[in-house]
Amino acid sequence: MDTRQVIDESVGPYSLSATFNHDSSCFSVGLDTGFCVFNSNPCELKVSRDFNAGIGVAEMLGQSNYLAIVGGGRNPKFPQNKLVIWDDAKQKTAITLEFRTSVLGVRLSKSRIVVALLNSVHVFAFSNPPQKLSVFETTDNPLGLACLGRKLLAFPGRSAGQVQMIELETGNISIIPAHSSPLRAMALSPDGEALATASEVGTLIRIFATANCTKLAELRRGVDHAVIFSLAFSPSNTLLAVTSDKSTLHIFDLPHLHHTPRRSQSPASPSEETSHKWGILGRIPLLPRMFSDVYSFAHAHFEIGDEAATPGSPYVPPLGSSLGRPPKGVIGWLDDQTLLVIGSGREGRWEKFALREGEEGKRDCVREGWKRYLGGG
């Protein structure tokens, strides 16, 4: 018999989005009533602003008092073609930008504001008034994908599966044919030297060198199609974490970022060998390719719940979303041994995971704690 209590959709705030700042020390949450900011570890409320209307995007600028906010939910605070840079120290709007279509994604740095629309990416100087620096056409980008580093900007290209990469100082453009199907997730490494991509297929994650667009590695999440939720490099650029709708967090080694000799040039070290799930089978010529791919060295379960967008729910799925559920599985690394996974929805959840040494030198990923950041837990 199912004895679970029925969730009352009319009580309490509803999280429409959750996003980490640049170093994962904080995360911002868009609510159907406003927005709030939490310290990441421990998970504690830092700022709460009640607008009595929905904020679908709340993107922090580092640890500053500036946030980029966009209306969302059933009762948006602002039209969804308007981006507001909010100065929380003064609790008022500092900058407003309006577009012809809905704002789907925002990235901030101290010098730039990057806005992703369905078929274009707009770059502005972070100034008042903001100066438009450039506009780039893209293929359909319903998730507002864009990565902004200190020197680079990356976003979908004009064809499905392509990545456009812009050198911010020179304006030079590189095109990476990353996948044959539309992009689902992207991430830049903290040092800006590598880019991770995943497509709508969700079986492979590809790693590219940003200096010359060379493919460095293919990482196999699994053999079944999956919706990739999030990709994130560790602070030292040596690990990659991946979440998907399989409710699984995977951790991969990235030894190639430290110029480890290729397998064909020298014998595999024990650490390299353990990163290949199938070991010697991967070197038998006629076996399917999946036996030679790099698999995760550790994985763990994270909670995505069974929430879905229903009539009357405050959550409105992003344009083109195939999930019909609030964003889940957003990854933030605290250090090379500790990472967080957060999700939106009625039960907005924070989970903490740690990498630990297991038996025979094997590394395990263990959940150390969790909390419902909207109350309870």
The contacts of residue 266 (CB under 8 Å, 6+ apart) are none
Whether 332 contacts 19, CB under 8 Å: no
Residue 367 lies in a domain: no
Running DSSP on this structure, what letter comes out for residue 142? T
Across-strand partners of 58? Answer: 69
Residue 108 lies in a domain: yes
Cis peptide bond N-terminal to 311, omega within 30: no
Residue 377 lies in a domain: no
**DSSP-derived 3-state class of residue 312:** coil
pLDDT tens digits along 257-274: 654 333 333 333 333 333
Residue 296 predicted with pLDDT over 60: yes
Q: State how far Cα 142 lies from the chain centre.
A: 14
Q: Long-range contacts of range 29-34, CB-CB < 8 Å, 24 or more positions apart?
A: 29/58, 29/344, 29/348, 29/373, 30/54, 30/55, 30/56, 30/57, 30/58, 30/69, 30/70, 30/72, 30/344, 31/55, 32/73, 32/74, 32/75, 32/314, 34/77
pLDDT tens digits along 157-211: 999 999 999 999 999 999 999 999 999 999 999 999 999 999 999 999 999 999 9
Distance between CA atoms of residues 137 and 121, nearest Å? 7
Residue 129 predicted with pLDDT over 60: yes
**DSSP-derived 3-state class of residue 174:** strand
Residue 2: CB atoms within 10 Å: 3
Distance between CA atoms of residues 269 and 316, nearest Å? 49
Residue 373 lies in a domain: no
Q: CA-CA-CA-CA torsion for 347, 343, 110, 102, nearest 10 degrees?
A: -90
Residue that wins the pLDDT comparison between 206 and 4: 206
Residue 137: CB atoms within 10 Å: 10
pTM: 0.87
Burial per residue of 47-82, b for 16 or more beta-carbon CB atoms within 10 angstroms, e otherwise: bebebebbbbbbbbbeeeebbbbbbbbeebbbebeb
Burial of 148 (0-12, 13-18, 19+ CB in 10 A): buried
Distance between CA atoms of residues 364 and 342, nearest Å? 20
Residue 5 predicted with pLDDT over 50: no
Find the range with the poorest average confidence among 66-75, 206-215, 278-287, 303-312.
278-287
Whether 298 contacts 361, CB under 8 Å: no
Distance between CA atoms of residues 245 and 268, nearest Å? 33
How many structural domains does the chain have? 1
The CATH number of whichever domain residue 195 belongs to comes to 2.130.10.10
How long a stretch of residues is the chain? 377
**DSSP-derived 3-state class of residue 316:** coil
Residue 345 lies in a domain: no
Running DSSP on this structure, what letter comes out for residue 223? S
Burial of 14 (0-12, 13-18, 19+ CB in 10 A): buried
| pLDDT number for residue 23 | 96
Residue 310 lies in a domain: no
Residue 44 lies in a domain: no
Which helix (H) or strand (E) segment is 313 a member of?
none
Residue 374 lies in a domain: no
Range of the domain at 240: 104-246+248-301
Q: Report residue 70: phi and psi, to 5°.
A: -135, 140
Whether 186 contacts 231, CB under 8 Å: yes
Whether 158 contacts 137, CB under 8 Å: yes
| pLDDT number for residue 191 | 95
pLDDT tens digits along 311-352: 667 777 655 454 567 899 999 999 999 999 999 999 899 999
Upper half-sphere CA count for residue 4 (Cβ side, 13 Å): 5
Nearest to 61 by CA among 107, 124, 128, 97: 107
| pLDDT number for residue 261 | 37
